């Protein structure tokens, strides 16, 4: 599966309908509403990705 943030192909499954992209270090989830994208903080928690503040790429 291609990453919805960077388009990279280095994504792996980490949970049920949950994936991690090794290229841009984001985690994303597929659900009925669409795709939810998260940044991973220094302590390992997930922070909702804000496309207006593209600090991930």
* Rounded CA separation 11/33 (Å): 21
Per-residue confidence (pLDDT) for residue 8, from 0 to 100:
92
**pLDDT digit string (tens) for 7-50?**
999 999 999 999 999 999 899 998 888 899 999 888 989 888 76
Q: Dihedrals φ, ψ of 34, to 5°? A: 135, -140
- Count the neighbouring beta carbons within 10 Å of the beta carbon of residue 55: 7
Q: Cα 35 to chain center, whole Å?
A: 9
User: Do 56 and 39 form a contact (C-beta atoms < 8 A)?
Assistant: yes
Give a three-class secondary structure readout of 7-19.
Answer: CCCCEEEEECCEE
- Name the residue ranges covered by the structural domains of the chain: 11-48
């Amino acid at each position: 599966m291609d990453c919805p943030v960077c388009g990279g192909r280095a994504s792996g499954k980490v949970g049920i309908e949950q994936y991690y992209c090794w290229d841009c270090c984001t985690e994303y989830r597929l659900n009925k509403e669409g795709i939810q994208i998260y940044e991973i903080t220094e302590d390992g928690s997930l922070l909702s990705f804000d496309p207006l503040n593209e600090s991930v790429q």
